[in-house]
Structure 1
């Protein structure tokens, strides 16, 4: 699942000095060499792993998060590898903050080629128990946390005939008990991507969606309960999980091939197949799992 940011902070971004444009020693010459990539929610988790993978592939990086301390630490680690990087603290559910985030990329590098909307909040609560403001918070992070960065970046991405990738989830492909707001948000951005591909087909902009499956998370990762309190993510068997580094490479492959949709993992593809072609069977399996594997949801 995507990296989850729970902290709130001043949306005004924090800037570091401009990175050098000197080529990275030993970097692979690839489709990403010299490109400028902005990854939201990249202070930790999948977003951070994706930033490292893009840096290794020769991209110049703009990283983002809500915690300046964690973001600065990630920036130091990237710089230690010789990757050009600038950080920007910004709340992606606020359009003005997203505009400043994009301005950071343009002011630093003069262009923007890749946008990965990774930042989001997840949850673990049954709908009947959820407070309305918690539902809204989760939905805002997933929908407006995707819409606002893209809206701010769109003119620059069209100019570069670049790429935008929405980080979604297999939860968007079917309902998941105790995940109503998260499922709704991820399904919304999948449909948004389809609509934008139709509207912007003439521009040459690549618009894709990556549906993540179960991923090994940072031990500090938290999701929201019914009252908006941070709680650990529900149990997932290690044998079902991909590492963050594996997921990052799959995201890069998706962008490189300019794919419309990538479903991560064999389990994710199986879930997508069953719920598309055998929906009653899929629902029966989920209902059985709710009875037999309650810890999977709670």
Structure 2
């Protein structure tokens, strides 16, 4: 399905971005790998090549619009086109809404919402040429109240809204938009502080018994991208929580309150 396809992944240095790169590599894709940490991207690239894929490291901080624009130019210069763009870069600000500073809100929304939107903006002309796909990575948090991580939940609700809007705005262009909302998946997101700094030894507070391994999650995400799903929600627990949040909000508030 993805043999020789040009796939650009932001947030590719760790977590879901890294493991999606591995899955695409197994299918013979040509990858453009973006994130802030070049040393980590180089590690991912080495594994991508060992799995049969090709790759290009394109360091990029989605907080900086010029870096997004330059990343797209570098990919086009190297490969000549982009078939799939996966706007995966993101992190989660922790704290009750009453305690969050303006700077914490700004960073949360700048990375998870504005960075994602600008990733699409600069990739779009090339996706239109290739009749390709934009993939937005949201979260089951979009459907639920999020005590202690309300800024993160708000950012993912915005991602969902952007995706729903694009699915209308892109009609007739040949460009597909897929929005993926993962449930609990093992990743570094809970180990990054409110300033975006990774702390590898931090314990993940999410329930371990509900957590999917990252490689398993990446496999189902790649399948959803291949099928050009409009909205894809996983894990099993994530789907249940999303359903409750959409159809029984009072129960969702009670349930999340008990879990918090």
Supply the distance in 2 between the matched residues of 1:63 and 1:272 (Cα, whole angstroms): 30
Contact 2:191/2:204, CA 8 A, preserved across alignment: no
Supply the distance in 2 between the matched residues of 1:153 and 1:261 (Cα, whole angstroms): 20
Deviation, 1:233, is 5.6
What do the CA deviations read for 1:119-158 (whole angstroms, capped 9, x no partner)? Answer: 1121221111112101110111100121111100000001
What do the CA deviations read for 1:63-113 (whole angstroms, capped 9, x no partner)? Answer: 011011111222222223332100011111222111111112211111100
Contact 1:39/1:62, CA 8 A, preserved across alignment: yes
Q: Report matched runs for 1:237-256 at 5 Å.
A: 237-256=207-226
Contact 1:125/1:179, CA 8 A, preserved across alignment: yes
Contact 2:25/2:49, CA 8 A, preserved across alignment: no
Q: Which residue of the partner structure matches residue 5 of structure 2? A: 35
Q: Which residue of the partner structure matches residue 186 of structure 1? A: 156
Q: Confirm whether residue 95 of structure 1 aligns to residue 85 of structure 2.
A: no
Q: Which residue of the partner structure matches residue 129 of structure 1? A: 99
- Gaps of at least 5 residues in structure 2 are none
Larger relative helix fraction: 2
Deviation, 1:208, is 1.1
Deviation, 1:221, is 5.8
User: Taking structure 1 as reference, are residues 57 and 230 closer, same or farther at Cα in structure 2, changes over 3 Å only?
Assistant: closer
What do the CA deviations read for 1:14-61 (whole angstroms, capped 9, x no partner)? Answer: xxxxxxxxxxxxxxxxx2111100000101111010001001112100
User: Taking structure 1 as reference, are residues 233 and 157 closer, same or farther at Cα in structure 2, changes over 3 Å only?
Assistant: farther
Q: Which residue of the partner structure matches residue 69 of structure 1? A: 39
Q: Which residue of the partner structure matches residue 180 of structure 2? A: 210
Task: Name which one, 1 or 2, has greater alpha-carbon Rg.
Answer: 1
Three-state SS of the structure 2 residue aligned to 1:86 is strand
Contact 1:134/1:228, CA 8 A, preserved across alignment: no
Q: Hey, which bits of structure 1, 4+ residues long, moved more than 3 A?
A: 227-234
Supply the distance in 1 between the matched residues of 2:14 and 2:217 (Cα, whole angstroms): 14
Supply the distance in 2 between the matched residues of 1:44 and 1:234 (Cα, whole angstroms): 15
- Gaps of at least 5 residues in structure 1 are 1-30, 291-298
Contact 2:135/2:178, CA 8 A, preserved across alignment: yes
What do the CA deviations read for 1:250-276 (whole angstroms, capped 9, x no partner)? Answer: 111111111110001111111111111
Three-state SS of the structure 2 residue aligned to 1:100 is helix
Q: Confirm whether residue 287 of structure 1 aligns to residue 248 of structure 2.
A: no
What do the CA deviations read for 1:170-226 (whole angstroms, capped 9, x no partner)? Answer: 0011221111111111111111111111111111211011001111225x962335x
Q: Confirm whether residue 48 of structure 1 aligns to residue 31 of structure 2.
A: no
Q: Which residue of the partner structure matches residue 165 of structure 2? A: 195
Root mean square deviation, CA, Å: 1.8
Q: Confirm whether residue 140 of structure 1 aligns to residue 110 of structure 2.
A: yes
Supply the distance in 1 between the matched residues of 2:190 and 2:238 (Cα, whole angstroms): 21
Give me the TM-score of the superposition, normalised by structure 2. 0.94
Supply the distance in 2 between the matched residues of 1:36 and 1:160 (Cα, whole angstroms): 10
Contact 1:123/1:182, CA 8 A, preserved across alignment: yes
User: Taking structure 1 as reference, are residues 152 and 268 closer, same or farther at Cα in structure 2, changes over 3 Å only?
Assistant: same
